A and B are shown apart, each in its own frame.
Chain A
Amino acid sequence: MNATFPLPFRSALRSSLLAVILFSAAAPCLLRATVDDALSFAYEAALPYYKQGYSIRKDAWGGDLGVHDKKAVSSQLFKGNDYWFLMASDVKAASISVHIYDDKGNLVDADSWQKGRFAGARVSPKATGTYFAIVQILKSPEDRTPWALVYGYK
């Protein structure tokens, strides 16, 4: 795949097949690696909040999305706690967002920010119940952009 000069046909076919097989075998690992990278950036985004006394959950949510695609992560949140949701991607040129909605679809962000491949939203639930973190890829040079989401509470 990386050859920059012509190869005899059979050799090229053999090389291509080998490359496809190798890529197929490695693809899940590559995807996993990028989601893991996204996660490491999400934890980076969470670090300032950890320093402010938020407990950051070790669990994380993530995957990959196309540009403008959205995903809802439903969460049980408790009135009395304050939450920060932090999202990140490992695609440097990507732009992403996260916002929090209640179970009736109302935006409930108390605060939010968006900075390239990092985004955050804070919520202080007015009622205990189910909330939805809506994550979105706003722009990206990639067809599929890995993302990860973590949250902290205090």
Chain B
Amino acid sequence: MLHSEILPGEGIFPGCALKRGMSLFSLLVALTTGPLSLRADTPPKKIALSDFPAAAVQEVVVPVPSEIFAVLDKLGNPNWKAQLRDGKARTPEDRARTALLLGNVIAEGFVAVEAEDAERVKELGRQVLTLAEAINVRKSVIARSKSITDKADQRDWRGVRSEFDGALQDVRGAMDELNDQDLSQLVSLGGWLRGTEVLTSIIGKGFSKDGAELLHQPELVNYFDRCIGSMSARLRRNPLVAEIRDVLRKIGPLVNEGGDNITPEKVKTIHDLTRGVDQRIVNGGN
């Protein structure tokens, strides 16, 4: 109640400010008008989205990795240790690849958290710092990196997840401030690619419709494609970025027809595509 107004979800009676000393009259008024004020706005049951001009539609909100991992938590207990990647990636010279790798490493951090591997989590926290330094945003993640180490030592896995989420958002925020929106998008894309690789691996090992449905992300895939399309010509010509765009265009139709239509074969195709490009992000080369 920072601004002294009681809000729904807070206090003893959602939507109504019941304060000590309230008179019977004001209580009756509150009880009769309170619920009415909550219903004051009656939204239409159906709207035509086509009525919204492009300017009235904000670009798709990219989910943070923990939104997806929160669902995976509810789907069972896969073998997360088997999903962990070995070794430590070298910091690339290419800034685009560095940004992609940074997102990739942050996503890997989530896998290490699920595997409850404290040493790997700490190592990934240090890698985040090194990669952030290579693209001039080290300052934005120093505190996060330390918190990742501290919370991994305490085995505070929810806390570590929150720090990795925060690192992703801080890095992107710092890049936006440096007017490096293109690299900022590549960080998100790198995270999404690694997350999708892991997700398809898990779903592939124990296929379920509920699991496969998590891949129904057509607008997000289109959004990443549009992002690359609006990047500088130099970045669009970057072979790795071009390859990723090609991969996105192959994934798009596979996830476009509703969650029920994502078959084991499609899951495998998406896995192979993301795994291939993730290997290039980590190891370089063509």
> A interface vs B, CB < 8 Å?
40-41, 44-45, 47-49, 52, 55, 57-59, 61, 69-81, 84, 95, 97, 99, 101, 103, 105-107, 109, 112-115, 118-120, 127-130, 132, 134, 138, 151, 153-154
Question: How far in angstroms is the closest Cβ of chain A from B22?
Answer: 18
Contacting residues, chain A, for B57 (C-beta < 8 A): 71-74, 132
Q: Are A114 and B218 in contact (CB under 8 A)?
A: no
Q: Are A71 and B9 in contact (CB under 8 A)?
A: no
Q: Is the interface of A mostly helix, strand, loop or mixed?
A: strand
> B interface vs A, CB < 8 Å?
1-3, 5, 7-10, 14-15, 37-38, 40-41, 43-49, 52, 56-64, 66-68, 70-71, 74-75, 162, 165-166, 169, 210, 213-220, 258-259
Instruction: Give 10 pairs: A residue, B residue, CB < 8 Å, sorted on A.
Output: A44-B5, A55-B165, A74-B219, A80-B75, A99-B43, A107-B43, A113-B8, A115-B8, A120-B8, A128-B216
Question: How far in angstroms is the closest Cβ of chain A from B152?
Answer: 19
Contacting residues, chain B, for A52 (C-beta < 8 A): 9
Q: Are B46 and A107 in contact (CB under 8 A)?
A: yes
How many A-B pairs fall under 8 Å by CB?
153
Contacting residues, chain A, for B214 (C-beta < 8 A): 78-80, 128
Contacting residues, chain B, for A134 (C-beta < 8 A): 43, 47
Contacting residues, chain A, for B2 (C-beta < 8 A): 40, 44, 47
Q: Are A55 and B40 in contact (CB under 8 A)?
A: no
With A55-B66, A97-B41 as contacts: A70 and B52 at CB distance below 8 Å: yes
Contacting residues, chain A, for B60 (C-beta < 8 A): 74-76, 130
Question: How far in angstroms is the closest Cβ of chain A from B232?
Answer: 24
With A55-B162, A81-B67 as contacts: A48 and B43 at CB distance below 8 Å: no
Question: How far in angstroms is the closest Cβ of chain A from B212?
Answer: 9
9 new A-B pairs (CB below 8 Å) besides A79-B210, A115-B15, A153-B67? A59-B169, A71-B56, A72-B57, A74-B58, A97-B43, A114-B37, A128-B216, A128-B259, A153-B70
Q: Are A48 and B46 in contact (CB under 8 A)?
A: no
Q: Which residue of A lies closest to B9 (CB)?
A: A48
Q: Which residue of B lies closest to A151 (CB)?
A: B61
With A44-B3, A113-B38 as contacts: A76 and B217 at CB distance below 8 Å: yes
Q: Are B166 and A128 in contact (CB under 8 A)?
A: no
With A113-B14, A115-B37, A134-B47 as contacts: A48 and B217 at CB distance below 8 Å: no
